[in-house]
Amino acid sequence: MKLIAVSDEEELSRIAAEILISKIKTSDRLVLGLATGKTPLGMYRYLSKYSIESKQSYDHVHTVNLDEYVGSQAYHTYMKEHFFQYVDIPSEQTHLPNGEADSLTVECKSYEDIISNLGGIDLQVLGIGENGHIGFNEPGTNFDSRTHVVQLTESTLSANAKYFIDTNQPKKAITMGIGTILESKEILLLAVGERKANAVKELFKGSINKDIPATALKVHPNVTVLADKGARSLLDKES
Ligand code: PGA
């Protein structure tokens, strides 16, 4: 695992965007795995600005998002609002799990089919939960799991409660599995702030274990972690 140490969220956002832009510019076709949450917002801002200012087309990019809440379109809305509305990726090339599907079992299977029909994910962007989750794969998730429905933990619900002040917060989500994520050719994990410091410490210093889902990434051959000072704050100390 490669660690890129950055000073703050701004630098992290710029470097993450530059990594994606260099792939977008040098590929005829690119399958990007995308994440939501607070951490990648700045990256989407840079990617959108670059597309508008440079006139670089993104029309050869296909996207598959990690997750969506059950009974909600919250992350569909997030992606449109923060990224898709600014770029020329055809909407039929953008994919998120449908949390409002009649059959979630069928939806999970179809989502796996979408990813495999695309030929797999070239580069998957990940955040990391305070509890070490990746996507919505909560502690205890099997490392060979495929796209599935999860019951969110109290830690995740409380970290994300701020996004559901006016509406009921869904307690379940559909997420790509850890096995699905690990099949990506390359992974870029973004971590900002001291709240992530323990999860980042476990990722680098801890053993591979299901209690910290991100430690599954230790077996992947091509993972880059971009972490700011706060997220690295427990790495530099004796453990
Ligand atoms: P955050 O979420 O970017 O909102 O902190 C990250 C995650 O839970 O994976």
Domain boundaries, the chain: 2-238
Neighbouring residues of 17: CB distance < 8 A, sequence distance ≥ 6: 42, 43, 46, 47, 50
18 labelled catalytic: no
Model confidence at 166, pLDDT cuts 50, 70, 90, reads: confident
Q: What is the pLDDT of residues 10-34, one digit of tens each?
A: 999 999 999 999 999 999 999 999 9
138 labelled catalytic: yes
In this prediction the pTM is: 0.97
Q: What is the pLDDT of residues 56-99, one digit of tens each?
A: 999 999 999 999 999 999 999 999 999 999 999 999 999 999 99
2-238 belongs to CATH 2.60.120.560: no
Exactly one of 9, 62, 65, 67 is catalytic; name it.
Answer: 67
DSSP secondary structure letters along 188-213? EEEE-SGGGHHHHHHHHHSPP-TTSG
Pocket test for ligand 1, best of 12, 13, 36, 38 (most atoms within 8 A of CB): 38
Pocket test for ligand 1, best of 39, 178, 225 (most atoms within 8 A of CB): 39
Rounded to an integer, what distance in angstroms lies between the CA atom of residue 152 and that of residue 173? Answer: 7
